[in-house]
Chains A and B, each alone.
Chain A
């Protein structure tokens, strides 16, 4: 980078967290920014998709209905039923399906041309989602075990006795109640943020090396940088899906952990 700066007058400024702060779409309000509209768009898309695919509810499904049912079945069977267990998973399927597809659509906005912005690279939205999951799993746990019983259930692991409890109880409480929403939200946020930053870096770096570095030697490197951007896009395609899956899977695991009976 220093060589490039020496060769030409102006230096290359690598993308940073400031690039994620977009100006308001209209007016001066900091509320109506691009990620806000993307969030609304994602919600509308998910609602439209599931209404459109489930409204006909024909015995012999059309192609669209089949796609909707396959999408629903994926979350219902491989996340909700496998994790929560076949007795009482149906109650939580609507939340998990909505969560999964909402996150999935928001993540794939990162790669759709002209949108190209992962909504959840903004921490605020992710904290909201994690808070919702936190309220849900603590809520079902309290309803199942009672208020006192639930805190005992989450912080006293079965089979632990004696003075070691003094060490275990605060740790378990921290890990199950306080750290979970934090890691849940930061995992999604950091993956979206880092992935988008990587794409920005390769795209801006390639553009700079080809157009602005002012030296023909750098042009092949710029092309290489853009190619790397393309490869990273392929990797991102995988990561975006996995993160939506992991968020939903962990939500299901927390719910099943809160519901579990003492052994």
Chain B
């Protein structure tokens, strides 16, 4: 087996953002189910939250290749 140990670290590091994005979209789906007319407003917030949470995973993948 060849490969870089960094990738194992990245896999572990991606758990956190994965859980975070799951929580964000769970809340988004809940919100839309309760109040469908709020979808437009919630969508922006959900994607903003996703972008911010995802930043962690992205910094992880960049560093996994760079270090």
Contact = CB atoms under 8 A, between A and B. Distances in A.
B47 A249 contact: yes
Interface in B2-59: 2-3, 40-41, 43-44, 47-48, 50-51, 54-55, 58-59
B47 A186 contact: no
Contact of A187 (B41, B44, B48, B54): B54
Interface string A193-217: 1100000000000000000000000
Interface string A174-199: 00000000010011011101100000
B50 A246 contact: yes
A140 interface: no
B59 A183 contact: yes
Interface residues of B, number: 18
Nearest to A77: B40
Contacts of B44: 78, 82-83, 249
15 contacts: A78-B43, A82-B41, A83-B44, A183-B55, A183-B59, A186-B59, A186-B62, A190-B58, A242-B47, A246-B47, A249-B44, A249-B48, A250-B48, A250-B51, A253-B48
Given A186-B58, A187-B58, A190-B58, A249 B51 contact: yes
Given A1-B1, A183-B58, A190-B61, A246 B40 contact: no
Interface of A: 1-2, 14, 17, 78, 82-83, 183, 186-187, 189-191, 193-194, 242, 245-246, 249-250, 253
A174 to B, nearest CB: 14
B34 to A, nearest CB: 20
Contacts of A249: 44, 47-48, 51
A194 B61 contact: yes
B47 to A, nearest CB: 6
B13 to A, nearest CB: 13
Contacts of B61: 190, 193-194
B3 to A, nearest CB: 8
A79 to B, nearest CB: 8
**DSSP majority for the B interface?**
helix
Contacts of A183: 55, 58-59
Contacts of B1: 1-2
A242 B3 CA distance: 30
B58 A1 contact: no
Contacts of A189: 62
A92 to B, nearest CB: 16
Nearest to A182: B59
B55 to A, nearest CB: 5
Contact of A82 (B40, B50, B51, B54): B40
B51 A191 contact: no
Nearest to B51: A246
Closest 10 pairs between A and B when the two form their complex, measured CB to CB:
A190-B58, A183-B55, A246-B51, A190-B61, A2-B1, A187-B58, A186-B62, A186-B58, A190-B62, A246-B47
